[in-house]
Structure 1
């Protein structure tokens, strides 16, 4: 089917080899004359042009208006000389004139219709090329915008990190440091929110790319990161960003606290969708949190942000010792996905 459409789009053929196009047109006329001659005993009187009309239409369709006109003239002369009484002459009688006018009218309409169709096809091709060019330009501009937004966020984070050096108060210094890290993280997330054409990335690909990014920047290459995501939902940015921040916080805490005195271990991220709800879990085999860990009572800025983000998504965030242990389990449950975009 694609090959068929490409052939139609290239009509008329042989645009740069017009002598060949005209030679083939003459061949069409000769074949039409030969067929009419062979079939003449089987035709009733009064059908001199029967095999010539297809030759004119075919020449016009394949090679354009010029060869179509040549085919019309040549076929008309052949029909007039061989098949319109008096035969083998160009005598112009009353009946002959009527037949020739009828023929001229039909082939003129045929050639014009084919010509207009090809003009419309040429305009369609030009518009398609223009649309493709605009799409490519839009794609480049969108990628540039994404990079600029990401770079600006990371730059603000870097400026906060520099400002942190001049602060003496320990609590303020820690808070600014965490804020700077979060801004730089959001900047990296921004790069992964969309595909190259501006479409939201599928959730499984988005989470996988995010975890790989976090693994590379963790500073502990011995820790293995595993992602099990079977959901191809296309989450809008207002869901994807908080989800990514919670994943990043869970992995950062696992590396910072669970593997504080270890260089090896495993962090497993699982994502699954059931009906109109999405669940996400982060499990590590590190030191683990204490029994009775109360997320509402912690004073960590990162965990407080994660808790508020979960509440903003109408989801439930839970942190508890992994069962079976050792390790920590971070669960984000009952994320509504009614506003998520279903894949096509």
Structure 2
């Protein structure tokens, strides 16, 4: 069944993203990793899996989050994979995209927190969408990782595009640990 196949492909992507992170982390000495080195191959992996002539979407990465603790980098990578996958599946349903479409991933790090802004020019969130009430597995994983694991915040809102393609903006803010020796200190 197509649903089962899609669910399986989604699980495989989740596992591959975690494997990719671990592979990158094992190449790095010490505990901090340049996050961009993980983000680029992650974006490529999502593009390879989901972009096609029927879904001509390009992903642009802007900015940098600098070096992050390995545990934070791992959680953020899983979150990014889910959000990118969500953007592809929901913002650009197959067959609905007739002109090139874009997802922009903007990273920032001001020394106190890491910000991730994901903006697409797709069909936008459904009327009355509520992130807290969303029952999808992907968004549940994202919510749990961002708020519980990372002690951060996440918001999703309709973009400012036109009526047919308003787009969606997802914003994450994750605090960097106060004490670099204690990953639990916030």
- The bucket for the TM-score relative to the shorter chain is 0.7 to 0.9
Pick from 187, 190, 205 the counterpart of residue 19 of structure 2: 187
In our comparison, the structure showing a higher alpha carbon Rg is: 1
Give 1:235-250 correspondences, 5 Å limit: 235-250=68-83
Q: Decide whether the 8 Å contact of 2:65 with 2:115 is kept in 1.
A: no
The residue matched to 1:235 in structure 2 has which SS?
strand
More strand by share: 2
User: Which aligned segments of 4 or more residues in structure 1 are displaced greater than 6 angstroms?
Assistant: 172-177
Q: Distance in 1 between matches of 2:138 and 2:23?
A: 21
Q: Does 1:328 align with 2:168?
A: yes
Q: Decide whether the 8 Å contact of 2:134 with 2:140 is kept in 1.
A: yes
Pick from 34, 58, 62 the counterpart of residue 228 of structure 1: 62
The residue matched to 2:50 in structure 1 has which SS?
coil
Q: Decide whether the 8 Å contact of 1:175 with 1:301 is kept in 2.
A: no
Give the Å deviation of 1:315: 0.4
Pick from 242, 245, 251 the counterpart of residue 84 of structure 2: 251
Give the Å deviation of 1:180: 4.4
The residue matched to 1:217 in structure 2 has which SS?
helix
Give the Å deviation of 1:218: 2.0
Q: Distance in 1 between matches of 2:5 and 2:89?
A: 18
Q: Which residue of 1 aligns with 2:142?
A: 306
Give 1:95-244 correspondences, 5 Å limit: 178-195=10-27, 198-199=29-30, 200-220=32-52, 222-232=56-66, 234-244=67-77
User: TM-score normalized by structure 2?
Assistant: 0.77
Q: Does 1:274 align with 2:110?
A: yes
Q: Decide whether the 8 Å contact of 1:271 with 1:279 is kept in 2.
A: yes
Unaligned runs of 5+ in 1: 1-164
Give the Å deviation of 1:298: 1.0
- Larger RCO: 1 or 2 (CA < 8 Å, sep 6+): 2
Give the Å deviation of 1:210: 2.0
The residue matched to 1:299 in structure 2 has which SS?
coil
User: TM-score normalized by structure 1?
Assistant: 0.44
Q: Distance in 1 between matches of 2:133 and 2:80?
A: 20
Give the Å deviation of 1:185: 2.7
Change (3 A) 1:183 1:230: closer
